[in-house]
């Protein structure tokens, strides 16, 4: 997340918190005032309108692996070569740092400077499997005749008759941080660091718990500074880091239901801060039948497991386990806080799913 983007998010949150937690303001038109005082009556001034977050209609159903933080290999970056980059070579397609070229009916491999890594004198077809592993076919139409080219060392590539994933090749290494007593755990695959950082905890995850459309050989759940991630490895040791799923949101506005997940640690903190900021008064016992509502289930990660539900009439119910204690509270809040929360969700969805009003 860029500094500019983070600053915009924090500014938006601070404006919402001002609108729902302050009891007075110098704004003459009253927009943004939240005037519920403990034990006092609610005063509605220029109550802003809200609507169903239409972005919920334009995203796929989220799951525990919806928010990709990093991919060590992205097949979508394999591209057909439209402009030849090297004189004397006919490049067919490339991946950053690797080019597949053709010569006299054979294919070979070039590095990003045009140096020959695998000469075009034996193989009829090539398939890039990772940044350093290429499947080289002996015949153009025969899927059975192939070898693997390991180009980790481009000066001395290695041809492998077979290649198989070994779970034991992925290991954890603990390292004490410089000038600190903090010890972080790092993941390594075949001796190569996974990601750019170490973690507070690393636990192997049962791959059967992952969504059915995710094919991986091994997976881990890792945590760092309160945030958590899931790291998966494919058969070629390519890894993907997914940010964890922090909360489920369910809502019903004007009779239209919807649901989504909070997929960002920053957004999870924002949601909790926003909801905690609402000034509360005693619940008057009013009926919520027919009210619009929005509910946050913060039980998807961590020790806390509680639900906060807001109603358009101004009722707020919190219940579950927080900070190790079971609780239940029912209170009244200013009705504009409900609208602010719905609008916050729309903004969070735009950030997490990179969706704009113009399209996906």
Report the percentage of the chain scoring pLDDT > 90: 65
- Residues 290-307 have pLDDT tens digits of 899 999 999 888 888 999
Which pair of tokens denotes residue 186? 């790092």
Residues 344, 308: Cα–Cα separation, whole Å: 15
Mean pLDDT calculated for residue range 212-241? 93
Q: Check whether 237 has a pLDDT greater than 60.
A: yes
* CB < 8 Å & 24+ apart, contacts of 306-310: 308/275, 310/275, 310/337, 310/338, 310/341
Q: Please report the pLDDT score of residue 36 as a whole number.
A: 39
Of the ranges 46-50, 106-110, 143-147, the best mean pLDDT one: 106-110
What does the buried/exposed string (b/e) look like for 321-347 if buried means 16 or more CB atoms within 10 Å of the residue's CB? ebeeeeeeeebbbbbbbbbbbbbbbbb
Run of H or E residues at 190: none
Tell me if 103 sits within 8 A of 89, measured CB to CB: yes
Tell me if 281 sits within 8 A of 331, measured CB to CB: yes
Task: State the CB neighbour count (10 A cutoff) for residue 140.
Answer: 10
User: What does the chain come to in residues?
Assistant: 360
Run of H or E residues at 341: helix 336-353
Which pair of tokens denotes residue 19? 């609108």
Mean pLDDT calculated for residue range 329-334? 95
- Residues 273-290 have pLDDT tens digits of 999 999 999 998 888 998
Residues 50, 245: Cα–Cα separation, whole Å: 26
Instruction: Please tell me which residue, 42 or 337, carries the higher pLDDT value.
Output: 337
Q: Please report the pLDDT score of residue 21 as a whole number.
A: 54
By C-alpha distance, which of 231, 217, 220, 215 is closest to 164?
217
Tell me if 75 sits within 8 A of 99, measured CB to CB: no
The band of 5, judged by pLDDT with boundaries at 50, 70 and 90, is very low
Tell me if 23 sits within 8 A of 40, measured CB to CB: no
Q: Check whether 65 has a pLDDT greater than 90.
A: no
Helices (H), ranges, 22-59: none
Which pair of tokens denotes residue 30? 């009253």
Q: Please report the pLDDT score of residue 62 as a whole number.
A: 64
Tell me if 345 sits within 8 A of 54, measured CB to CB: no
Q: Please report the pLDDT score of residue 64 as a whole number.
A: 66
Residues 62, 67: Cα–Cα separation, whole Å: 9
Q: Which 3 state secondary structure label does DSSP give 219?
A: strand
Q: Are strands 325-332 and 315-322 parallel, antiparallel or unpaired?
A: antiparallel
CA distances to 206, 227, 279, 310 from 252, rounded to whole Å, are 34, 29, 23, 11
Mean pLDDT calculated for residue range 233-241? 96
**Main-chain phi, psi angles of 273, to 5 degrees:** -65, -45
* DSSP secondary structure letter of residue 161: S
Average pLDDT, the chain: 85
Residues 264, 8: Cα–Cα separation, whole Å: 16
Helices (H), ranges, the chain: 3-21, 265-277, 336-353
Q: Please report the pLDDT score of residue 215 as a whole number.
A: 85
The band of 58, judged by pLDDT with boundaries at 50, 70 and 90, is confident
Residues 202, 62: Cα–Cα separation, whole Å: 24
SS3 per residue for 112-151: CCCCEEEEEEEECEEEEEECCEEEEECCCCCCCCEEEEEC
Rounded to two decimals, the pTM is 0.75
Number of H-type helices and E-type strands within the chain: 3, 24
Tell me if 6 sits within 8 A of 348, measured CB to CB: no
Which distant-in-sequence residues (6+ apart) come within 8 Å of 177 by Cβ? 183, 184
- Residues 163-213 have pLDDT tens digits of 999 999 999 999 998 888 899 999 999 999 998 899 999 999 999 988 888
- Residues 115-167 have pLDDT tens digits of 999 999 999 999 999 999 999 999 988 888 999 999 999 999 999 999 999 99
Q: Check whether 88 has a pLDDT greater than 50.
A: yes
């Amino acid at each position: 997340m860029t500094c500019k983007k983070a600053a915009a998010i924090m500014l938006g949150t601070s404006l919402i918190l001002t609108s729902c937690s302050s009891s007075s303001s110098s704004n003459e038109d009253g927009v943004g005032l939240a005037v519920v005082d403990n034990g006092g009556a609610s005063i509605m001034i220029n109550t802003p309108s809200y609507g169903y977050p239409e972005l919920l209609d334009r995203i796929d159903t989220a799951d525990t692996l919806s928010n990709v933080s990093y991919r060590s290999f992205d097949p979508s970056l394999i591209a057909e070569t439209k402009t030849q980059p090297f004189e004397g070579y006919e490049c067919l397609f490339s991946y950053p740092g690797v080019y597949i070229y053709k010569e006299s009916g054979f294919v070979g491999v070039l590095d990003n400077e045009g140096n020959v890594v695998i000469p075009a004198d034996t193989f009829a077809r090539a398939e890039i499997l990772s940044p350093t592993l290429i499947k080289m076919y002996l015949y153009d139409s025969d899927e059975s005749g192939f070898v693997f080219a390991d180009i980790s060392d481009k000066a001395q590539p290695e041809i492998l008759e077979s290649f198989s994933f070994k779970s034991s090749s992925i290991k954890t290494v603990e390292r004490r941080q410089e000038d600190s007593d903090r010890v972080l755990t790092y993941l390594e695959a075949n001796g190569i660091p996974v990601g750019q950082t170490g973690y507070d905890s690393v636990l192997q995850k049962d791959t059967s718990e992952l969504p059915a459309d995710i094919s991986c050989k091994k997976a881990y759940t890792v945590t760092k500074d309160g945030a958590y991630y899931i790291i998966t490895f494919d058969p070629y040791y390519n890894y993907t880091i997914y940010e964890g799923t922090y909360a489920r949101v369910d809502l019903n506005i004007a009779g239209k239901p919807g649901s989504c997940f909070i997929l960002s640690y920053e957004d999870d903190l924002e949601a909790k801060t926003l909801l905690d900021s609402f000034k509360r008064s005693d619940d008057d016992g009013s009926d919520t039948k027919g009210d619009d509502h929005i509910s946050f289930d913060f039980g998807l990660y961590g020790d806390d497991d509680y639900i906060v539900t807001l109603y358009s009439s101004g009722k707020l119910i919190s219940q579950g386990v927080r900070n190790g204690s079971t609780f239940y509270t029912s209170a009244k809040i200013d009705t504009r806080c409900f609208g602010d929360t719905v609008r916050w969700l729309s903004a969070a969805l735009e950030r997490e799913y990179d969706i704009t009003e113009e399209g996906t």
